Structure 1
């Protein structure tokens, strides 16, 4: 179901023929000639689908990256009685459901329910945000923003990427990189909206306006993604696969990939949650400046995602992934020295640029991890499901460490956050070096992939 993430994967059937399970694309099929009709239509429709997927990422990941503004507002103003760790659970549950939702949306996409997934996911996401505008207690905010929005986003992530991947026969990694750049752009816009509106119209209407923008973008994305894809994507019963392949649990490269990706995810998103709060409480900036620093980090992430994806296209995804992991961990440790606003802005900018590539790079490498192309989707779904728990646990663990010896959200012990993020990401990058060695020994892979 997820082989569309393979950097070199190619769809070979004509547009009007039945498209089968994406995980069944093999190297032999990749080298076959693409019918001219498919190539012509994909040039037009592919560009539209990239833009549609960009809008999906704008909403589902952009809102998650902007959660730092929500975290700061909740902790310091709206629900100060709740701890930073408790508040972080709202954002992490949302991101966890977004990722783990692929276990459901992937097989449903393979069975031809792409239209239903995009429509239902969009409705759940918008309804969740509308319900958030009515919430005043922690439990209601958790259920609306964390659970309802997360469930909706989980239905949208895989179909958007699958439809883009299916439309491109070459430069697929670049197309996916451009699509995923919608995440930091969305993070910037939603952060600006939250920061500018919260003092003028209050929290309820700020959230409603965000929900209306989400609705407009979801409608546009559905038209662009589904317009050129009206025919259902059906599979024969014999092609349906289980969600779990027990062979993966006996495979060392699989575990090395899953462990490395887990620890990278464990530390990756945590700084984005605490950047605004750090700026306000440790550096004495205004709420507006704290949000501006977060936006700088997100803006640099656009450059990093596209630029490092291009680097991986020419020099190999494995080496790019290792470099990004190491540098991201080192930067988190360097965060300890940012005792001035200028240093903190530099940290945020470099961290955003380098860590942004940690999302699109793993799928390109996983094509070399799975030994059976027919099981690629199942194996990748299993690996991503394991990694999704890192997104769920990372910020709350960091928040709990920051609460040790502190007197509330206004006096957090940020050393715990900084060391936690840096150490776990460096460990994850070290595990990738082991993965590289295992791929050479177990799979006979050479070079940088």
Structure 2
């Protein structure tokens, strides 16, 4: 559920731009969501040694406490820096502590069908995202922003109370210290597969989250949709990602995670460019659903691809942490760059013309296009190395 807040930030982005933080620029507001995503990935990588030392339970409980505390502090926030600390820093740090335990349990529980399991587990992110947006939309209208956030906090608290005992069941072996992995392996930079993979994930992370941040505000500003209509288009996109993640896991199991990753990235780039032509509510609904469905594998598939590329499984944890740590800076800067490219003109009744969103749309599309080319190069190289067919 904490990761669901990353996908729901589009609802916060729109609300902050038009209400709570309307004196701040869209780029400045987007930093709140991207810092949260950045800490989720970076702290998740750095917490690997803590997991190896047997701190699984501490991270599980501490991460949930930090996320819930950050949500309730957000409900008390009055200005930008308070929102930034509560939603960006505190919730991001907490989610980062939960990131490794969630992935580690999948790896320990499944030796085969890992791509399918990854898709099923991460599809829960979409469920959390939809629940949070609906709660945020309904309660901000009736009771205001503070109580909307508090209700989201109570939802998170309830989920944590139910989930922690389940996630602790049968994990006594994880409390025992194992050989801690290194944080850095300089030999990785001599491995072409590592370098290309990192270029793939960095390129896609630059553009992946941009539509989720700006589709709702585009609907209100450029198409004159109501806040309710715009948010439910975002809900449609997140709901479609639920089914996309499930299908991607199944397809990757059959056709290979790398082959599937290429097609997910390439189609997502096409959908991002198609967003430029949208000039109606129905068109935005179609783009939102296609985007959510096609982009479902952009986060889940890299985790399934990397183990097949690492030449020494004893260094897998270290190299995964290095690659995701580098890619986290793309997650940090991608949406703020898109926000800086957002036009400043104003149309009728304060609305912005569609052309003002051309910058973010092109940024997302170009980043994903470059990412698809890197994935294609990695797929081609892997096919030639293994000589076992195209489905890898």
Fold shared by both chains (TM-score > 0.5): yes
Partner of 1:67: 9
- d(CA) in 2 for partners of 1:79 and 1:363? 36
2:320 pairs, out of 376, 380, 384, with 380
Partner of 1:29: none
Residue by residue over 1:120-175, the C-alpha shift from the partner in whole angstroms, topping out at 9 and shown as x without a partner, is: 00011011111111111101100110000100000001101212331234322222
1:89 pairs, out of 16, 31, 56, with 31
Q: CA deviation at 1:441?
A: 5.2
Partner of 1:288: 228
Q: Secondary structure at the match of 1:60?
A: coil
CA contact (8 A) 1:326 1:426 kept: yes
Normalising by the residue count of structure 2, what TM-score does the alignment of the two structures yield? 0.95
Partner of 2:359: 416
Q: Per the alignment, do residues 444 and 375 of structure 1 end up closer, same or farther by CA in structure 2, a change over 3 Å counting?
A: farther
Q: Secondary structure at the match of 1:439?
A: helix
The reply to whether residue 111 of structure 1 matches residue 65 of structure 2 is: no
- d(CA) in 2 for partners of 1:433 and 1:445? 17
Partner of 1:429: 372
- d(CA) in 1 for partners of 2:268 and 2:4? 20
Partner of 1:45: none
Matches within 5 A, 1:14-33: none
Q: CA deviation at 1:104?
A: 2.4
Q: CA deviation at 1:427?
A: 0.5
- d(CA) in 1 for partners of 2:14 and 2:287? 19
- d(CA) in 1 for partners of 2:310 and 2:193? 8
- d(CA) in 1 for partners of 2:21 and 2:384? 53
Q: CA deviation at 1:444?
A: 6.5
Matches within 5 A, 1:195-234: 195-234=137-176
- d(CA) in 2 for partners of 1:384 and 1:324? 19
- d(CA) in 1 for partners of 2:375 and 2:174? 38
CA contact (8 A) 1:96 1:388 kept: yes
Q: Secondary structure at the match of 1:101?
A: helix
Matches within 5 A, 1:159-174: 159-174=101-116
Partner of 2:209: 269
Partner of 1:19: none
The reply to whether residue 325 of structure 1 matches residue 268 of structure 2 is: no
CA contact (8 A) 2:383 2:389 kept: yes
Gaps of 5+ in 2: none
Q: CA deviation at 1:443?
A: 6.6
Matches within 5 A, 1:172-211: 172-211=114-153
Normalising by the residue count of structure 1, what TM-score does the alignment of the two structures yield? 0.84
Residue by residue over 1:426-445, the C-alpha shift from the partner in whole angstroms, topping out at 9 and shown as x without a partner, is: 10010111112333456767
CA contact (8 A) 1:76 1:410 kept: no
- d(CA) in 2 for partners of 1:219 and 1:285? 38
Residue by residue over 1:304-346, the C-alpha shift from the partner in whole angstroms, topping out at 9 and shown as x without a partner, is: 0001110110111111100000000111000011101111100
The reply to whether residue 406 of structure 1 matches residue 345 of structure 2 is: yes
Matches within 5 A, 1:216-255: 216-236=158-178, 239-255=179-195
How many residue pairs match? The answer is 388
Q: CA deviation at 1:221?
A: 1.4
CA contact (8 A) 2:114 2:304 kept: no
CA contact (8 A) 2:213 2:335 kept: yes
- d(CA) in 2 for partners of 1:154 and 1:78? 27
CA contact (8 A) 1:94 1:147 kept: yes
Gaps of 5+ in 1: 1-58
Q: Secondary structure at the match of 2:382?
A: helix
CA contact (8 A) 2:342 2:358 kept: yes
Partner of 1:34: none
Q: CA deviation at 1:230?
A: 3.1
